[in-house]
């Protein structure tokens, strides 16, 4: 069943108005008709079963039938802090990190990242959030992750203070992996917020690794092969979701 994310201001008791690009998608691509059932998400995790009542040029009216007791979110919040890569690689990172289950994605400007102009006014943020939204529809997530504007390394360190666990893959680490790190933690059930910090192309400077160690980050290896920056995030999130979250099932 097709899912649509509708902001709460467009939800009025048992009536929902789907607007924007989704209207064209319903008409031209999905070719849905009046009487077809759809899933509606209020962008805050609540899911509803609805039936299309009216299809117009500017909006689609849906009548709510019932609220669904459905949540496809992981019990552990995963935050991806990604060293900003070149070209359009961030598009892929946002899409796949959303599918895996990241709840927030923050590009980071490290010493080996080259950015022209004021990175706080980065123009691709809206595009990345749209990619995250579309990925949520495909993978049936209950909440859309936030993609933040890029931050510098100092702000990254400040943002990590609220995390229960900080994982930093680093090519010069040879012994401690993610599984060994998780196995060494006594009260895993207390881990609710996990940060994954990924370096850019070229990796981290040694000074940056030392600063991350200073806030109790776990520096880990992902194995004997060196991954590209866009691959390292996927692998790390997947391994952590398997060890702590819901990836791989609960059985």
In this structure, what token pair is assigned to residue 79?
């935050």
| 85 belongs to a structural domain | yes
Q: Are residues 157 and 114 in the same domain?
A: yes
| 52 belongs to a structural domain | yes
pLDDT in tens, 97-107: 999 999 999 99
| 250 belongs to a structural domain | no
Q: Are residues 21 and 128 in the same domain?
A: no
End-of-domain residue from the set 68, 99, 118? 68
Q: Are residues 232 and 188 in the same domain?
A: yes
Q: Are residues 151 and 234 in the same domain?
A: yes
Q: Are residues 98 and 217 in the same domain?
A: yes
Distances (CA, A) of 237 to 4, 24, 117, 172, 222: 26, 34, 31, 20, 11
Domain membership of residue 102 as a residue range: 77-244
pLDDT in tens, 8-52: 999 998 999 999 999 999 998 999 999 999 999 998 888 999 999
Tell me: pLDDT of 120 over 70.
no
Burial of 162 (0-12, 13-18, 19+ CB in 10 A): exposed
pLDDT, averaged across the chain: 93
pLDDT of 121 reads 61
Q: Are residues 174 and 196 in the same domain?
A: yes
Q: Are residues 94 and 45 in the same domain?
A: no
| 83 belongs to a structural domain | yes
| 128 belongs to a structural domain | yes
| 147 belongs to a structural domain | yes
Query: Quick check: 222 and 178 in contact, CB under 8 A?
Result: yes
What band does 192 get if pLDDT is binned at 50, 70 and 90?
A: very high
Q: Are residues 85 and 205 in the same domain?
A: yes
| 99 belongs to a structural domain | yes
pLDDT in tens, 149-163: 999 999 999 999 999
Give strand ranges (E) for the chain: 3-5, 11-12, 15-19, 37-41, 47-55, 59-68, 77-83, 104-109, 146-147, 151-152, 165-169, 193-198, 218-220
| 251 belongs to a structural domain | no
Q: Are residues 64 and 84 in the same domain?
A: no
* Number of compact structural domains in the chain: 2
Residue closest to 13 by CA, chosen among 64, 68, 60: 64
Q: Are residues 227 and 107 in the same domain?
A: yes
End-of-domain residue from the set 27, 43, 68? 68
pLDDT of 110 reads 95
CATH of residue 40's domain is: 2.40.240.20
Q: Are residues 119 and 207 in the same domain?
A: yes
The 3-state DSSP class for residue 146 equals strand
pLDDT in tens, 215-224: 999 999 999 9
Q: Are residues 91 and 124 in the same domain?
A: yes
End-of-domain residue from the set 23, 38, 68? 68
């Amino acid at each position: 069943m097709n899912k649509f994310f509708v902001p709460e201001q467009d939800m009025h008791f048992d009536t929902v108005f789907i607007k924007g690009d989704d209207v064209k998608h319903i008409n031209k691509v999905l070719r849905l008709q009046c009487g077809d059932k759809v899933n509606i998400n209020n962008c805050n995790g609540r899911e509803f079963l609805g039936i299309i009542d009216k299809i117009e040029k500017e909006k689609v009216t849906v009548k709510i039938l019932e609220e669904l007791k459905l949540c496809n979110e992981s019990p552990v919040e995963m935050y991806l802090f990604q060293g900003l890569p070149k070209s359009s690689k961030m598009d892929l990172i946002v899409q796949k990190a959303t599918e895996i289950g990241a709840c927030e994605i923050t590009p980071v400007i490290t010493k080996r990242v080259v950015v022209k102009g004021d990175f706080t006014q980065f123009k691709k943020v809206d595009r990345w959030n749209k990619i995250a939204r579309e990925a949520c529809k495909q993978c049936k997530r209950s909440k859309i992750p936030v993609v933040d504007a890029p931050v510098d390394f100092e702000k990254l360190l400040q943002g990590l203070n609220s995390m229960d666990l900080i994982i930093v893959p680093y090519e010069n680490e040879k012994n401690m992996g993610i599984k060994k790190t998780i196995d060494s933690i006594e009260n895993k059930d207390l881990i609710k917020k996990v940060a994954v910090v990924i370096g850019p192309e070229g990796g981290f400077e040694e000074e940056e690794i030392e600063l991350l160690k200073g806030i109790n980050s776990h520096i880990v290896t992902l194995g004997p092969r060196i991954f590209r920056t866009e691959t390292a995030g996927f692998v790390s999130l997947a391994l952590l979701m398997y060890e702590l979250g819901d990836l791989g099932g609960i059985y």
